[in-house]
Amino acid sequence: MAELSPMMKQYFETKKKYPDTILMFRLGDFYEMFFDDAVTVSRELELVLTGRACGQEERAPMCGVPFHSADSYMARLVAKGYKVAICEQMEDPALAKGLVKREVVRVLTPGTVIENSMLNEGRNNFLASVYFAGESAGVCFVDVSTGSVNLTELASPAVPDKIINEIGRFMPSEIVFNSASSSLTKVFSFISNKTEALAQELGDSYFDPRQSTETILAHFKKDSLSELELHEGSAAVPALGAALKYLTEVQRNDLENISSISFYSELNFMRLDVSALRNLEIVETLRNREKRGSLLWVLDKTRTPMGKRMIRAWLERPLIGMARITKRHNAVAELVSQPMVRQELGESMSGIHDLERLITRISFGTAGAKDLRALALAASCLPELKEKVSVLSSSLMRECAENIDALSDIYELIDAAIVEEPPFSVREGGMIKDGFHPELDSLRDIVLNGKDYIAAIQQQEQEKTGIAKLKIGYNRVFGYYIEVPNSYKELVPDEYIRKQTLANCERFITQELKDLEAKVLGAQDRIVKLEYEIFDDIRKRTGAELARVQRTAAAVAQLDVLCSFAQAALENNYVCPQMSAEPIVKIKEGRHPVVEKMLNGEPFVPNDTVLDCGDDRCAIITGPNMAGKSTYMRQVALICVMAQAGSFVPAASAELGIVDSVFTRIGASDDLSAGQSTFMVEMSEVASILNNATSRSLIIFDEIGRGTSTFDGMSIARAVLEYAADKKRIGAKTLFATHYHELTELEGQIDGVKNYNIAVKKRGDDITFLRRIVRGGADGSYGIEVAKLAGVPKPVVDRAKKVLKEIEESGLVLVREREPSTAAEPEAGQISFGQNSSNEIVEKLKVLDVNTLTPIEAMGVLYELTKSAKEI
């Protein structure tokens, strides 16, 4: 086998160190990729695949991108979930002896990028680090682009479920984990089905507890873990340690912007698991995963990128501490009552760019002059903003006023140094203002006036020699030269040095010309270098103020979100919820914040809610399809979430106790893609709710038991309701919509259960939805009427009515109309249905019309018949 070329050897040595990345290898003006990387990239980015001689018989597959436009190619690869290692030339190829030295200077990965082009302004970009240790787990989410670190420790029981919930909440774009985590099949099926995160196992050395402790202490410059609210032996330590180590490796940087940790526990936030977040459409819709149609869409009036990210985080993690919640409400109330101030604050904030991400890039040394200018522009809005917040008196507003730093020194520094519209590149000059640096000014004078000097020499030489056609020109080979037409050759003085003879002229140089040239050309090079040095110095001096900028950014974000809540409250007519120490949910004229905005012109009918831990623990809600059951239940849950996130709520009044979690079980048709049957998914969600809910929880069950046969479904629904309502088991506040009218029997039988239905008005075959919730069970299911309303053709509706009548008359009634409940209480856990007899089975068979049954229906009937038979 032939030897590889030296360059290829260098390539392979580098590639060996970064086997799981796409290696972009700098060759002059291009980044080249070879072999498998080239094939992958040419496919993913639709680039031409070529080849390059590599010393072997076959040419190496190769594809490349020009270095000046490489960013967008890199961004696309990272967005597709690839890791990209950037290998640069570490010396000037013109000066290098032999092979140019090359090194990987950074690895771009989805969870660790800081470039604007690879980030979404309104969302954090998290790297998750998961350390699983059996009984407990540490989970850490770092957004290196903003410097935020969220860290938690999860203890048994149900550690895998808790990991899933945290991942669902933060939606990281990349996850690293220790080897023990790889046994968590449930977690990984969640990651691959429900997230787009790139997941990879890191060697266990990354998670070594002792090394992690050292890494953490060194990074945060502390002497002990307790100064960071951490302790030895906590699973959070290796999770954080591994994240820091990994980030340092890919960033090649000391991560100065990561300067504090937010250590949170399940005790700080309302528990909203992944299905609740999705079902309640908190930040995106269930169907299209769009912001429009979500709660965030209604409430987000923020003006700054930091505010956009924070409002999302607040809605995803509502609080459970009374004091912190009411502090937010008080601030919103103050902003609602001061419309002028709020508007002015909004205007001041509109000019504030992404302070968090700007200061990150500045402190990492990757920011350009445009970034500095953007920071200065943001800083220029701060003094006014600070002054305006200072007139407000609620405690959160006072906190904001205190934490907003006017950053005037930073503004002045940047404004004095950097031109208004600097170029993108920091290596070509044109960034620094005149008058900022004396040496730069004098160099610029030489360059500027150099042309005049040349013109003066030209004139002087013309006069001296009497050659009117003598010209001074410039080319890259000899620099400046004097050109004399052949006809004047005789007049050329002796001191001219001949350089080139052309067909009709000759070119000369003189000492004087060369001296000037050295000065002029040298000045241009020197200017570019000096400008970079000055710029870098300004960047470093600005970067040194990182902590002040970060604190200001956080205060602006908070102010932005509270203003946004206030504006949404005014625009949508919300009220301040009254938080109560009692475990109650008392809502007068509550509305669904999203549905009310989606009803083109039609009025939304408000409804009251009373739930507590006593007689009104559990509401069974019946009513025809489309009546508004799901809307009503979600509205109650959303009002609780909004209140605990700090927002006002859509109601005439609301008195709310704090709920520790909201659980939902609502249709899951989309889960088929996850390879589980709908019913299986439904039951595993029910299981998770029953295992995790407490008496302080709010549970929403929307038509459980639908995915299986009627008797099965009804039995399960009833048993679940009994368990949830039972004070000895859970006793949670529960809203339970069902199409099983039998379950309305439970009022009076089970403590705390009340029946409600959503009223409809019936006239002949037609029904009108009144959308009003009233006491008592619904008096029928009105399926046929709803079908008619939906536009099902008349012959079908008529036929359905006839079939229904036949079935009712024949006794094949699987679900009987409710009879006034007899006092006898069933034994716990036992379910009473009509007695079956063999006669009944024969009757059922008689009326069956096999020709009209679909195979699935036939299976259902068969199943029920065999079941009835077994019960005889």
Ligand X SMILES: Nc1ncnc2c1ncn2[C@@H]1O[C@H](COP(=O)(O)OP(=O)(O)O)[C@@H](O)[C@H]1O
Which residues are near ligand X by CB under 6 A?
595, 599, 604-605, 623, 625-631, 771
Contacted by 570, from ligand X, Mg ion, none: CB < 5 to 8 Å by type: none
Q: 64: which strand partners? A: 32
Q: Find the residue with minimal CB distance to ligand X.
A: 628
For the chain, how many residues are written? 872
Q: Is the peptide bond before 157 cis (omega within 30 degrees of 0)?
A: yes
- Write down the residue that tokens 């787990």 correspond to: 137
Give the nearest distance from C-beta 73 to ligand X in angstroms.
44
Is there binding between residue 635 and Mg ion (CB under 5 A)? no
Contacted by 263, from Mg ion, ligand X, none: CB < 5 to 8 Å by type: none
Closer residue to ligand X (CB): 178 or 630: 630
Using CB atoms within 10 A of its CB, is residue 824 exposed (0-12), middle (13-18) or buried (19+)? Answer: exposed
Distance CA 716, CA 708 (A): 10
Give the nearest distance from C-beta 282 to ligand X in angstroms.
18
- Write down the residue that tokens 């987000």 correspond to: 300
CA neighbours within 13 Å on the CB side: how many for 41? Answer: 31
Are the CB atoms for 370 and 424 separated by under 8 Å? yes
Closer residue to ligand X (CB): 83 or 629: 629
Which two three-digit tokens encode residue 436?
């900022």
Closer residue to ligand X (CB): 84 or 759: 759
Give the nearest distance from C-beta 591 to ligand X in angstroms.
7
State which H helix or E strand residue 767 sits in: strand 766-775
Give the nearest distance from C-beta 677 to ligand X in angstroms.
23
Give the nearest distance from C-beta 702 to ligand X in angstroms.
7
Give the nearest distance from C-beta 857 to ligand X in angstroms.
22
Choose which of 302, 630, 644, 757 interacts with Mg ion (CB under 5 A).
630
Give the nearest distance from C-beta 703 to Mg ion in angstroms.
6
Among 69-77, 341-349, 457-465, 624-632, the segment contacting Mg ion (CB under 5 A) = 624-632
Using CB atoms within 10 A of its CB, is residue 135 exposed (0-12), middle (13-18) or buried (19+)? Answer: exposed
Give the nearest distance from C-beta 632 to ligand X in angstroms.
6
Is there binding between residue 552 and Mg ion (CB under 5 A)? no
Beta strands (DSSP E) in 247-375 are: 262-263, 271-272
Closer residue to Mg ion (CB): 558 or 630: 630
Closer residue to ligand X (CB): 312 or 634: 634
How many CB atoms sit inside 10 A of residue 722's CB?
19
Give the nearest distance from C-beta 768 to ligand X in angstroms.
12
Contacted by 757, from ligand X, Mg ion, none: CB < 5 to 8 Å by type: none
Is there binding between residue 165 and Mg ion (CB under 5 A)? no
Among 62-70, 626-634, 791-799, 821-829, the segment contacting Mg ion (CB under 5 A) = 626-634
Q: 31: which strand partners? A: 26, 65
Closer residue to Mg ion (CB): 141 or 701: 701
Contacted by 739, from ligand X, Mg ion, none: CB < 5 to 8 Å by type: none
Q: Among 811, 360, 796, which residue's Cα sits nearest to residue 542?
A: 360
Closer residue to ligand X (CB): 718 or 771: 771
Using CB atoms within 10 A of its CB, is residue 436 exposed (0-12), middle (13-18) or buried (19+)? Answer: middle
Instruction: Report in angstroms the alpha-carbon separations of 436 from 424, 523, 539.
Output: 20, 17, 15
Closer residue to ligand X (CB): 568 or 627: 627
Closer residue to ligand X (CB): 391 or 790: 790
Is there binding between residue 279 and Mg ion (CB under 5 A)? no
Contacted by 605, from ligand X, Mg ion, none: CB < 5 to 8 Å by type: ligand X
Cα separation of the two ends of the chain: 82
Sheet holding 30-34, edge to edge: 50-52, 60-66, 30-34, 22-27, 84-89, 102-108
Q: Among 514, 512, 450, 461, which residue's Cα sits nearest to residue 483?
A: 461
Amino acid at 569: A
Distance CA 517, CA 158 (A): 77
Give the nearest distance from C-beta 770 to ligand X in angstroms.
9
Is there binding between residue 738 and Mg ion (CB under 5 A)? no
Contacted by 771, from Mg ion, ligand X, none: CB < 5 to 8 Å by type: ligand X
Closer residue to Mg ion (CB): 679 or 833: 679
Q: What are phi and psi of 68, to 5 degrees?
A: -75, -15
How many residues interact with Mg ion (rule CB under 5 A)?
1
Contacted by 544, from ligand X, Mg ion, none: CB < 5 to 8 Å by type: none
Closer residue to ligand X (CB): 450 or 628: 628
Distance CA 786, CA 781 (A): 9
Give the nearest distance from C-beta 754 to ligand X in angstroms.
18
Closer residue to ligand X (CB): 628 or 777: 628
Are the CB atoms for 394 and 409 separated by under 8 Å? no
Is there binding between residue 697 and Mg ion (CB under 5 A)? no
Give the nearest distance from C-beta 715 to ligand X in angstroms.
22
Contacted by 172, from Mg ion, ligand X, none: CB < 5 to 8 Å by type: none
Q: Among 189, 141, 186, which residue's Cα sits nearest to residue 162?
A: 186
Binding interface with Mg ion (CB under 5 A): 630
